[in-house]
Amino acid sequence: MSSRVLVVDDDDVGRATMADILRLEGYQVDEAGGGREALARLARDAYDVVLLDLKMPGVDGVAVLQGAAEVAPETQVVVFTAHGSMESAIQAVRHGAYDYLLKPASAADVVACIARAAARRQARSRERRLVQSSEAALAELRGADGDGREALLSLPGVTGVEDRGACSYLVEHAPGSDPREAIFRLAVARGWVLITMTATQASLEDVFVRLTTREEPPAAMEV
């Protein structure tokens, strides 16, 4: 799916030119003729990149940049300004803009900068999804139906379970018993994956267990 770009400029000709260039490159492009319209679009629709003119009457580019940080924090903003506004462009970057372009910029420069910004947006989205997936997996493992500590504690012969964090547990069990087979069966039943299950060298009465709900092959049990 192509990235979605919002071009914001009060100059109708310049805005249309930039929008056409990006459409030819395969981007989905919308246009806004001023800061107020841009903020309304950002609040309503999801954009990967905003190409933003800094100098606009009324709600200027800086105000749009600040508003975008609140309503669309993952959207990457590229500011577009004249040579005489170099200082304001640097200030915009300090306020969260991804990059800036100086007018007049070539079509190649605009396309390259938008491509970099879109790639960064996609990378941020992947990172966010990974974090959400990890948090969901941990919540599932520790939820009412999948509490790792309580489940391990219910196994025959287990006398204590110490939660070491990050889905890791130290399992204590009665002398002469070996809960590793039961732990393995529990993991299969619950849909967990055993990353490691290692009996401590000091005593077979302690078994270190690390569980996860991620889909990766279980490591062999070690003694």
Angstrom CA distances, 77 to 20, 30, 83, 86, 205, stand at 19, 14, 18, 16, 58
pLDDT for 213 equals 46
- DSSP conformational letter for 222: B
pLDDT for 140 equals 56
Tell me the Ramachandran region of residue 166: left when phi exceeds 0, alpha when psi lies from -120 to 50, beta otherwise.
left
pLDDT for 83 equals 63
Domain ranges of the chain: 4-138, 148-212
Q: Find how far residue 75's CA is from the centre of its chain.
A: 12
The per-residue pLDDT for range 152-163, each reduced to its tens digit, is 888 888 888 887
Q: Give me the residue label for tokens 């459409």.
A: 23
- DSSP conformational letter for 95: T
pLDDT for 201 equals 46
pLDDT for 217 equals 38
pLDDT for 87 equals 76
Q: How far apart are CA 208 and CA 217, in angstroms?
A: 18
Query: With a cut of 50, which residues of the chain have pLDDT below it?
Result: 144-146, 201-204, 213-223
Q: Write down the CATH superfamily of domain 4-138.
A: Response regulator (3.40.50.2300)
Angstrom CA distances, 167 to 31, 100, 146, 173, 196, stand at 48, 44, 11, 19, 11
pLDDT for 195 equals 59
Tally of CA atoms within 13 A in the half-sphere of 53 that contains its CB: 26
Tokens of 102: 């100086």
pLDDT for 72 equals 92
Q: How far apart are CA 32 and CA 37, in angstroms?
A: 6
